[in-house]
Chains A and B, each alone.
Chain A
Amino acid sequence: KAGVTQTPRYLIKTRGQQVTLSCSPISGHRSVSWYQQTPGQGLQFLFEYFSETQRNKGNFPGRFSGRQFSNSRSEMNVSTLELGDSALYLCASSLSGGTSLSEQYFGPGTRLTVT
């Protein structure tokens, strides 16, 4: 079974630009969560999508948005990039999105550098 895939793996953007990151979950998984990892703040939850609906949202500005498609693939968009958005963005997929405490599996991440 294929794992979680993220594209692109590396990205360099300029301040003020926008960026879209993609995540394909494990086949059959309906929940996709996004995390930002930086040396200063560690791993922080961005949002979770389940069956095309945002279920949870972390404490990030509105410049960070996401969506999920009917095939469970998810995209994350960051508009008006700032230097502080430079980070490793990880997505995680899970079978369920309800009360079942199922395991989550992460993709390899997209390393975004904003110059």
Chain B
Amino acid sequence: AQKITQTQPGMFVQEKEAVTLDCTYDTSDQSYGLFWYKQPSSGEMIFLIYQGSYDEQNATEGRYSLNFQKARKSANLVISASQLGDSAMYFCAMRETEYGNKLVFGAGTILRVKS
């Protein structure tokens, strides 16, 4: 069964420092995709980064990178040089090929950036 686990309910980080948000997943499918979304207090889900199960390189998008360790089934999000605007809820999600576009989400991690 598909499952996403985010073990950190909340995290604090000092402005300009890097932070890692943890995500582990469980799937029996060989073809799947992993996503990270940011949800500010406004509620909108903002797509951050995507990693395919067959991608050999870790995905990067600006200050966001995804530390993909397939054998460990982990897909941690690394935010470099944190900014105050990074304060939000962060969700890890997975999609398996056989389920079309259905996303399974983790419980989320609230990130607070301190000045």
Contact = CB atoms under 8 A, between A and B. Distances in A.
Interface string A67-99: 000000000000000000000101010101111
A106 B97 contact: no
Contacts, number: 72
Contacts of B104: 45
A101 B37 CA distance: 16
A64 interface: no
Contacts of B31: 99, 101
A99 B100 CA distance: 6
B44 A101 contact: no
B101 A56 contact: yes
Contacts of A43: 91, 93, 103, 105
Interface of A: 31, 33, 35, 42-43, 45, 48, 50, 55-56, 58, 88, 90, 92, 94, 96-99, 101, 103-109, 111
